Structure 1
Amino acid sequence: MASEAIDTQIHREASETSQQQNVEDEVTINIKKRIKDCRDVDLTEDCCIYRVPFTLCGLKEEAYTP
């Protein structure tokens, strides 16, 4: 009886691990696709990241914190 319970638990854990791995594989594929799609975008010299003045950050810090 205990042996069957252990076998059932091992099977359940293996199934959960397999499902988690499938989800991780899907996420990896999706991320790689998005990265590839970004490479196809034409970037110009006009692209930049602006620095927010410290005085504005102090007014509403959560709005400017990544």
Structure 2
Amino acid sequence: MASNKGYKVTLVKSVFGQLKAHRATVRGLGLRRIRDTVTVADTPEIRGMLSASRHLLKVEELKGSN
């Protein structure tokens, strides 16, 4: 795995009018409203979720302590 521990994810666009799968992905990340922010682990599953809904999210890497 990389040297980062995870990601800081913020919802920046509404899920209204998006595909049901994208709404479910955003909800699965724990985001409810615009400007909600969560910290998630760096796993292949999370990376896939971030990739699927990247047009709705702002993603920042959290650097790990080496």
Normalising by structure 2, report the TM-score. 0.20
Between the two structures, name the one with larger relative contact order (CA 8 Å, sep ≥ 6): 2
TM-score by length of 1: 0.20
